Amino acid sequence: MARAIGRLGWRILKPTLVIAAFLALWEVAPRVGLVDPIFLPPFSTVVQAAWELIRNGQMWEHISTSLTRSLAGFAIALVVAVPAGVAIAWYRPVAELLNPVLELFRNTAALALLPVFILILGIGETSKIALVVYAAFFPILLNTISGVRTVEPLLIKSAVSLGFSPLRLFQKVILPASVPAIFTGLRMAASASILVLIAAEMAGARSGLGYLITAAQQNFEIPDMYAGILAISLVGLAYNGVLVAIERRLSRWRTQR
């Protein structure tokens, strides 16, 4: 028991030490002249700027705006991509019909289409959410296809022999066995949705973390710029943490005996 606790503590301590070392280097390097403090302020200065943005409400306004856009696009991509991935993986005619179009678009970077989205949908919320949908759709779709196609055939044969209907087969066998692959796609999609949204907000927005970073850089408020970058990192970590927690809950049956 003590050994297990020790291993767990070390697993927690290792990343903590690495992060602490990085932040210490960030704090010390500008103060001793290794980098110009004008362009890379000490970490404590950035924390003070972030606290001021939190105190006056600007940080939450920008975070909530970006989260709303990102979650809306992510949810739409999830609702569309998972059923599409299951259909493509399970039904050959669907795959043969859709694969040429999917291959064309999945090799086109989302940011390359940003001007197209803006021209067609305008510079408002619709174009930003649509760009997030596009960026998040393909990681979820491709991992869903992979997950369904790699389900153990013996599981499927056993379920069929027990008289499972197609719907029950999907519900009890295919989808549970595909959860790890699907959630890998969800985590990739969450990261992509944040990145493309920040880029879209930098190109044309009046709120959001991308706008905060660009406005701070243009006004030479460098600590505020780094505060926005830190906020993006924390939002990404929160996204990933929530998805990992949900995946563990849904995959709990794998560890049960």
**Amino acid 252: pLDDT:** 65
**Amino acid 253: pLDDT:** 53
Q: Report residue 190: phi and psi, to 5°.
A: -60, -45
pTM for this model (two decimals): 0.82
For 16, residues 6+ apart whose C-beta sits below 8 A from its C-beta are none
DSSP state of 164: -
Write the pLDDT tens digit of every residue in 55-75.
998 999 999 999 999 999 999
For 250, counting Cβ atoms within 10 Å of its Cβ (0-12 exposed, 13-18 middle, 19+ buried), the class is middle
In the chain, the largest separation of any two C-alpha atoms, in whole Å, equals: 73
Write the pLDDT tens digit of every residue in 28-43.
989 988 888 889 999 9
- Cα R_g (the chain), whole angstroms: 22
The answer to whether 100 touches 88, Cβ cutoff 8 Å, is no
Write the pLDDT tens digit of every residue in 87-106.
888 888 888 888 888 887 87
